[in-house]
Amino acid sequence: MTKNGFIALFVCTLSCWMPNVLAVSSFSAIPVKQAAAVQKQPAPVSKTNLLLDKERLRDAQQQLLGRPELAQRPLYVLDKVDFFDGTRPRIELIVAHRSSKDVPLNIYTFENGTWRAEPIEQDYSDNYIAKHQMQLDDTDWAQVADVARVWQEKAREVKAVETEPYYISLVWLPPQRKRFWHTATLEAVGKQYYLSLHENGTVWEWKRPAAEKE
């Protein structure tokens, strides 16, 4: 075969092959685009402070109470419920129910809009659980936002280094058999302050640690 004949054969082969390649490429691209269009997008994570967002707080509580494995009423948790903002906004609690002594308690974490449950390693006696369980389904988690605003006002009042609420806990006191709101220590220049509130949101303690008093 001459050189010119070889070139002619190559051009003919290439012209026949390219339309098939383009057809396959076009055919393959259609399902990919369709799949991308119908792919479920994750729900956007709110940028607001969790401790100040009553809607998210109530939603978290309702999601927890609606879980099938927690259908038993009333619902009890162990010792406290922790509410966090900051770098990792979340809610954490230990549910004080188990089917038998051999089954560990579960810690429930609310993060990025959903709850997850994991068994905890620490073991609790039935006696401890009985004394330290706190009823949960008669509380309103939206009240966390009210507590956070009181903390924020106090932080501004004493010119605290941090004025954005980042930690609040609903705590059970076994001796008094009462619930109260514990908050993060307020750090000012050379001083510290402690704030706690009654369950109804009124100030219970607002003080400096005894060792720091002048």
For residue 129, give the H/E element and its range: helix 126-132
pLDDT-based confidence at residue 137 (cuts at 50, 70, 90): confident
| For range 100-119, the mean pLDDT | 91
- Two structure tokens written together for 32: 């990919």
Taking the domains of the chain in order of start, what are their residue ranges? 50-207
> φ, ψ for residue 147 (rounded to 5)?
-65, -40
Strand spans (E) along the chain: 76-84, 90-95, 106-111, 114-119, 133-135, 167-173, 178-183, 186-188, 191-198, 203-207
Q: What is the pLDDT of residue 27?
A: 37
Residues of the chain with pLDDT > 70, as a percent, come to 75
Q: Does residue 146 have a pLDDT over 80?
A: yes
